[in-house]
Structure 1
Amino acid sequence: MRYKAQSRQLTGYGFQILLLALFVVHILTLNDATNLSLFNLINGIGTQLPAWLVSAITDLGNGTTLGAIVLCYLIKRPELTLRVVVAAILSLLMVPLIKDYFASPRPAVILEYLNIIGETRHVNSFPSGHTATAFLFAVTVFLVSKCNKIKLGLISVAALIGVSRIMVGAHWPADVVMGAIVGALCAYGALLLTPLVRFSDKYRLFSYLALLAVLLLCELDKGIDADAFWQVIMFRWIWFSVCTGLIWQFWKRSHGVTNLAC
């Protein structure tokens, strides 16, 4: 018990340090000159990388793509399912409200020359929804993981997704940092509101199938993006396939189905 209390305390300190660092960076990006300089620097780096690679990285923050990745993780860590759902709901409420309130113009509206990969957007720049989604998942795991390498890895990937939003010309640095803050706060809010819950195999299977169905419907409803690279679409459907395979394996285990060939 004492070890668990110390572990939770250290995790709390880690989250506080992360949040403090994000707020410090956000304060720096509130300066228009700094915000613009960082955008030009990072957006310029995007021109040096393959466009499909940058697009694939930024797609990891896409709701359906990241949703499939998260679902794969939840099959292995089912006790986090309710917490992730609550965090996602909080994000779905907060991000659009903040976007509509500020109604900030995208870089394509302000700048004459910039590198744009994918769809050109013009409104509701602040905050970055992709970054919020990425940090929501990263911080959710960060708050329960005991492995520092996993924590650092997830935060690094989430940060890379945020940086990619600047590379593709969709967001300012200030948008990305605030997206990270919103995602982190949603994850922490879910921690306070939702305990770790273990469901029966029946409810686990139902929740996995329901979440997968929602993701697939959202993906199919969007249709084929004419600006999307084939590599991005392929990676996205690979994740859907992996997710489906893991659910199938879970169903077989929960029903005692074994491979007859063995």
Structure 2
Amino acid sequence: MKFLKNLPIFLVIILIMSPEVQAQKKDKLWNHFTYDVGTIFGGVGHAYSRPFHWKGKDWANFGYLASGTLLLFTVDDELNNWTNGFNQDVPDFVLDYGNEYGSPENNYMLTGGVYLFGLFTKNEKLRRTGVLLISSATAGGLLQQVSKRIVGRARPKSGENSDVYDPFNIDRVFNFDSFPSGHAMLSFSNAYAIAKQFKSPWIKAGLYTVGAIPGFARIMDDFHWVSDVAFSTVLSIFIVESIDKYLDRKYNEKYNADTKKVSWNLTFGPNTLGMALRF
């Protein structure tokens, strides 16, 4: 009964405090948002600055990437002729998915959705994942746009060979913007970042496979050479790993406390080229 007598007072207190509580929640949400936006830009800058801090193993990994890409350059025309022999057998829905999912607008719809869900549900792990997705996509996206204009490599569908270039164009020259592959870079960045949420190798393998479809589709549709997609896929791993290490210092939630390592194993011989990447 005493509680019932005091109930009106409690209700008045709640009504008075509600706007203040809501304001505090909004302020906290805004603070998280501004912090995350700053962290996104910080992550992009961190990724771009890493070459200035590389040591022996880092340069070795870069050497493996460069060597593997150059080796693929030498057989791009042959590989393109080979893929043209069965590209008509690939289901249309695979090609449609690959071309649509890897586009920048669809990429940011996904990454932005993950981040906003984490922000509004107050889930720091998802917030961090969203920041990793957005910053990785931004770093890779800007890099590939600039690289396309500098390199000016002919696309397979242009009818030119893989060694034809029209470099250093400020304006983008279509059919001479093959290297690197933006679709492959964005899609595999997403897959690799999301896979960090899981320990199961089967789930990881499934996500990697889905993330590789856009690069595969771009090869099948003659938008890219195999070396374009291979280089972009591996580079996206470097970018995600670099930014993820940076985020370890920015967020308490760590879904991957193990030491982050990327190791390589190249094998090549007569008519043989192999590469194993462990991460």
| Higher share of residues assigned helix | 1
Give the letter for the 1:175 counterpart. D
- Please say if 1:81 is aligned against 2:134: no
Aligned to 2:224: 171
CA distance in 1, matches of 2:98, 2:149: 26
Asked whether the equivalents of residues 102 and 183 of structure 2 are also in contact (C-alpha less than 8 Å), the reply is yes
Partner residue, 1:227: none
SS of match in other structure, 1:47: helix
Q: Which structure 1 residue ranges, 5 or more long, are not aligned? A: 1-17, 113-120, 200-262
In the alignment, what sits opposite 1:48?
89
* Count of matched residue pairs: 173
73, 98, 112: which is aligned to 1:30? 73
Q: Does 1:92 align with 2:141?
A: yes
1: distance between equivalents of 2:138 and 2:193? 13
Is the Cα–Cα contact under 8 Å of residues 128 and 247 in structure 2 kept in the other structure? no
Q: Give the direction of change, closer, same or farther, for the CA distance of 1:152–1:73 in structure 2 (3 Å limit).
A: farther
- Within 1, Cα distance between the matches of 2:234 and 2:132? 18
Task: For structure 2, list consecutive stretches of 5 or more residues without a partner in the other structure.
Answer: 1-60, 119-125, 162-173, 254-279
Answer yes or no: is the 8 Å Cα contact 1:87–1:189 preserved in 2: no
Matches within 5 A, 1:10-29: 26-29=69-72
Instruction: Indicate how the Cα distance of structure 1 residues 133 and 126 shifts in structure 2: closer, same or farther if over 3 A, else same.
Output: same
TM-score (norm 2): 0.53
As a proportion of its length, which structure holds more strand?
A: 2
State the percentage of identical aligned residues: 21
CA RMSD of aligned residues (A): 3.1
| CA displacement 1:107-140 (0-9 Å, x = unmatched) | 122349xxxxxxxx41211000000001111221
Deviation at 1:88, TM superposition (A): 2.0
Where does structure 1 differ by over 6 angstroms across 4 or more consecutive aligned residues? 18-24
Listed one character per residue, the Cα deviations across residues 152-180 of structure 1 (whole Å, up to 9, x for unaligned) are 11111122221110111101111111111
Q: Which moved more, 1:175-184 or 1:127-136?
A: 175-184
Structure whose CA Rg is larger: 2
Greater RCO structure (CA 8 Å; 6+ sep): 1
Q: Is the contact made by 1:104 and 1:123 (CA closer than 8 Å) also made in structure 2?
A: yes
Compare 127-136 and 96-105 and name the one that shifted more. 96-105
- Of 97, 106, 110, 1:69 maps to 110
Per the alignment, residue 37 of structure 2 pairs with none
Cα pair 1:136 1:184 within 8 Å, conserved: yes
Q: Counterpart of 1:124 in structure 2: which amino acid?
A: D
Superposition deviation, residue 61 in structure 1: 0.9
